[in-house]
């Protein structure tokens, strides 16, 4: 099968329309996350893993990422302008001259700028799920391919997705697909069951000068000791409520832990105009 030839898999991609059960929906609203096994076939996972390959690039040169004059500013610009692009981000301390083995993630518009990722992201399976979870006008606004590479895959500190994609009311919902088995050994996701019922603790705000900073909203944070590992097999989808505290630790193992994560918001809510993401590629979800 050619890398980009999806004809063989098309049926599987669009099979869909399996509604979640009442229990699954109740579990999601109680726990803040929902684990759906076998959401994607191994062929779909393999296809996405192959399609990402040409996007994995060596660290960019000085003008893009690294400036001796104002490194921080350049890094911020690179990040802020990635909302409608497909760009590599690297593990910490490996900016200049980073190798492909040090790519941390690729973001943030695979769902719109690559035909195969777009097809998967906007498939009826995802759309149906979004509507089932009571989104009224769901639309994908961000996507990331996370590699968590062997030995170097860095920690994603505990956060709520609404910190980064804020709206009133908060509607951001994550759809995280395991493209490889994820366990405590290779840095699987951890989440605090029920933690989505707590407040939003901080926001990443972008000011008029296009500079981002973290704004703390409440003093008390969640207790990270309450987080549990979400060990899953390849093809499993984890749906994450936008207020659910979650993280993933360093991958010290020899096995990578690839995942594809998309974030949707409800267009019926008001997307905050001081979010970092100001130029999103919006892909509305619909199904017939």
Ligand X SMILES: O=C(O)CCC(=O)C(=O)O
Least distance to ligand X, CB of residue 180, Å: 11
Distance CA 270, CA 274 (A): 11
Closer residue to ligand X in complex, CB, 6/191: 191
Q: Kindly tell me which residue out of 34, 51, 146, 179 binds ligand X, with binding defined by CB under 6 A.
A: 146
Least distance to ligand X, CB of residue 262, Å: 9
Q: Does 161 bind ligand X (CB under 6 A)?
A: yes
Least distance to ligand X, CB of residue 17, Å: 25
Footprint of ligand X on 225-264 (CB under 6 A) = 246, 248, 259, 261
Least distance to ligand X, CB of residue 235, Å: 15
Distance CA 42, CA 12 (A): 11
Q: What sign does the CA torsion over 180, 182, 183, 186 have?
A: positive
Q: Which residues pair with 202 in a beta bridge?
A: 216
Closer residue to ligand X in complex, CB, 101/159: 159
Closer residue to ligand X in complex, CB, 71/198: 198
Q: Which of 116, 92, 180, 108 is nearest to 140 (CA)?
A: 108
Is the bond leading into 131 cis (omega within 30 degrees of zero)? no
Closer residue to ligand X in complex, CB, 74/90: 90
Burial of 215 (0-12, 13-18, 19+ CB in 10 A): exposed
Q: What sign does the CA torsion over 188, 192, 194, 196 have?
A: negative
Q: What sign does the CA torsion over 105, 111, 113, 119 have?
A: positive
Closer residue to ligand X in complex, CB, 9/242: 242
Least distance to ligand X, CB of residue 158, Å: 9
Least distance to ligand X, CB of residue 247, Å: 7
Is the bond leading into 159 cis (omega within 30 degrees of zero)? no
Which DSSP symbol is given to 255? S
Footprint of ligand X on 165-194 (CB under 6 A) = 174, 176, 189
Closer residue to ligand X in complex, CB, 64/255: 255
The count of chain residues that interact with ligand X, using the rule CB under 6 A, is: 11
Residues that bind ligand X (CB under 6 A): 146, 148, 156, 161, 174, 176, 189, 246, 248, 259, 261
């Amino acid at each position: 099968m050619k890398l980009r030839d999806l004809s063989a898999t098309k049926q599987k991609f669009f099979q869909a329309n399996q509604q979640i059960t009442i229990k699954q929906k109740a579990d999601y609203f109680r726990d803040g996350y929902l684990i759906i096994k076998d959401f994607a076939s191994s062929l779909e996972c393999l296809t996405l893993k192959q399609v990402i390959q040409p996007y994995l690039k060596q660290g960019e040169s000085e003008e893009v990422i690294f400036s001796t004059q104002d490194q921080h500013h350049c890094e911020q610009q690179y990040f802020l302008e990635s909302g409608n692009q497909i760009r590599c981000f690297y593990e910490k301390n490996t900016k200049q001259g980073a190798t492909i083995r040090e790519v941390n993630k690729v973001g943030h518009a695979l769902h719109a700028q690559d035909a195969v990722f777009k097809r998967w992201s906007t498939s009826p399976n995802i759309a149906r799920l979004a509507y089932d979870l009571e989104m009224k006008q769901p639309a994908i606004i961000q996507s990331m391919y996370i590699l968590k590479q062997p030995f170097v895959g860095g920690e994603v500190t505990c956060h709520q997705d609404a910190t980064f994609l804020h709206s009133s009311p908060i509607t951001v919902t994550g759809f995280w697909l395991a493209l490889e088995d994820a366990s405590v050994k290779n840095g699987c996701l951890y989440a605090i069951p029920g933690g989505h019922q707590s407040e939003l603790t901080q926001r990443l705000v972008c000011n008029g000068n296009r500079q981002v900073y973290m704004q703390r909203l409440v003093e008390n944070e969640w207790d990270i000791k309450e987080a549990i590992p979400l060990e899953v097999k390849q093809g499993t989808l984890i749906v994450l409520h936008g207020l659910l505290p979650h993280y993933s630790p360093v991958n010290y193992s020899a096995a990578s832990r690839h995942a594809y994560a998309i974030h949707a918001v409800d267009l019926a809510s008001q997307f905050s105009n001081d979010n970092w993401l100001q130029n999103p590629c919006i892909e509305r979800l619909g199904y017939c």
